[in-house]
A = this chain, B = another copy of it.
Amino acid sequence: MTSDPFFHPVSGMDLPRYAGIPTFMRLPLVQPGDARFEEVEIGLVGVPWDSGTTNRPGPRQLRDASTMIRAEHGHFGIRPFEAAACADLGDVGPNPADIQDSMARITAFYDQIVAAGIRPLTGGGDHLCSLPVLRALGRAKPLGMVHFDSHTDLWDSYFGGFKYTHGTPFRRAVEEGLLDPKRIVQIGIRGPMYDQEDRDFAKAEGIRIIPIEEFHARGVADVMGEAREIVGTEPTYVSYDIDFVDPTFAPGTGTPEIGGPNSYQALQVVRELMGLNIAGADLVEVSPPFDTSGGTAFLGVTIMFELLCAMVGQGK
């Protein structure tokens, strides 16, 4: 709990939302090495790393859109910036020319975050980002995971054996012991498939997949009740791929699949996480070149605000 105004975002009542350097949700920028870094409780991090980046990465557009976020959750009445010391921790610098080096840089950055006792809320970047983050968060003990996506990201390899793409991170994370497959639930899976290989892996490991047809038939509350049971009270990671949402509501992404949830459901699923033990969360796969109106980035940061409220409200 913090009443220190240093950690409160700038209000749109005082400074118009379009003025000022855009940090996440207009929070202070507190980077590793800064004096107050150790005081941060929840850190918002950008990982502008994407095999398809064309000089318009996700974090910058997410930060721009996040200046529209205000101080209080309209439904729960939570005021997250008072409930926890939040800060923008800046971006991790990737190496666009080397995937392994980029992953090493990301893990090193998150090791500092873990060491400082900060829980990270990440804005990506593509879904491969989750792997190096989990290498820092899940090293001590495998985490559970609530995973919103239209793809399982459990493929073994692409293009003749290549193991690290945005279609493979969670297979690697399970293999490396960073995630406990029995405590993974994947929600919203859909679309034309290559074959059954990813789902065979899930079945063998005990990962629960809830396809979109089941999601639409059962509804948010029922599905999320099952998800809460699967991950239980142990530390859990939340990974939210924006392509979980129907591409009309979130066009700014690289591998859309028709027929997902609408924007209201996109928020409701996060609200149902309230009370879980959230060790960290990410919102990934926002791709500005496909987000010509900026609406996907705005949806993305609204989801990040819901995730933040869920992280703050977890004792409730």
| A interface, CB within 8 angstroms of B | 11-23, 29, 46, 48, 51-57, 59-60, 63-64, 68-75, 88, 90-99, 101, 158-160, 162, 164-165, 189-196, 211-213, 216, 246-249, 251, 254-256, 258-260, 262-264, 266-267, 287, 289-290, 292-293, 295, 298-299, 302, 305
A74 and B192 form a contact (CB under 8 A):
yes
In contact, A259 and B248 (Cβ under 8 angstroms): no
Sample of 13 more A-B contacts, CB < 8 Å, known A12-B194, A13-B158, A18-B48: A13-B159, A13-B194, A16-B53, A18-B55, A20-B93, A21-B23, A21-B88, A52-B55, A71-B194, A97-B165, A248-B295, A259-B264, A262-B262
Given A18-B56, A21-B22, A54-B287, does the pair A74, B293 have CB atoms closer than 8 Å? no
By beta carbon, the residue of chain B nearest A162 is B97
> How far is A192 from B25 in the complex, measured between Cα atoms in Å?
12
Contacts of A292 in B (CB 8 A): 292-293
A101: B residues at CB distance < 8 A: 159
Query: Which residues of chain B are within 8 angstroms of A55 by Cβ–Cβ distance?
Result: 17-18, 52, 254
Q: Can you list 20 contacts pairing A with B, beta carbon distance less than 8 Å?
A: A13-B194, A18-B48, A18-B53, A18-B55, A19-B48, A20-B91, A20-B93, A54-B290, A70-B194, A72-B193, A73-B193, A74-B211, A75-B211, A95-B159, A96-B159, A97-B99, A251-B293, A256-B298, A258-B263, A259-B264
Contact of A289 among B54, B57, B73, B159 (CB under 8 A): B54
Number of copies: 6
Whether B258 lies near A299 (C-beta < 8 A) is yes
- Residues of B with C-beta under 8 A to A254: 54-55
Which B residues are CB-close (under 8 A) to A74? Answer: 189-193, 211
Do B213 and A15 have beta carbons less than 8 Å apart?
Answer: no
Bound: A16/B73 CA distance, A: 35
Cβ-neighbour of A93 out of B16, B73, B266 (below 8 A): B16
7 shortest A-B CB distances, which residue pairs? A289-B289, A52-B54, A70-B192, A259-B264, A97-B162, A15-B93, A72-B193
Residues of B within 8 A of A53 (CB): 16, 18, 52, 54
- For residue A212, which residues in chain B have a CB less than 8 angstroms away from its CB? 264
Closest to A51 in B: B96
Q: CB distance B19 to A94 under 8 Å? A: yes
**Which residues from B are CB-within-8-Å of A263?**
246-248, 258-259
Contact B193 A71 (CB under 8 A): yes
Closest chain-B Cβ to A131's Cβ sits at a distance in Å of 14
Which residue of chain B lies nearest to A70 when distances are taken between CB atoms in the complex? B192
Closest Cβ–Cβ distance, residue A190 to chain B (whole Å): 5
| Minimum C-beta distance from A290 to chain B (A) | 7
Docked CA distance A22–B74 (Å): 30
A298 B21 Cβ-Cβ under 8 A: no
Please name all residues of chain B whose beta carbon is closer than 8 Å to the beta carbon of A54 when the two chains form the complex.
Answer: 52-54, 254, 287, 289-290
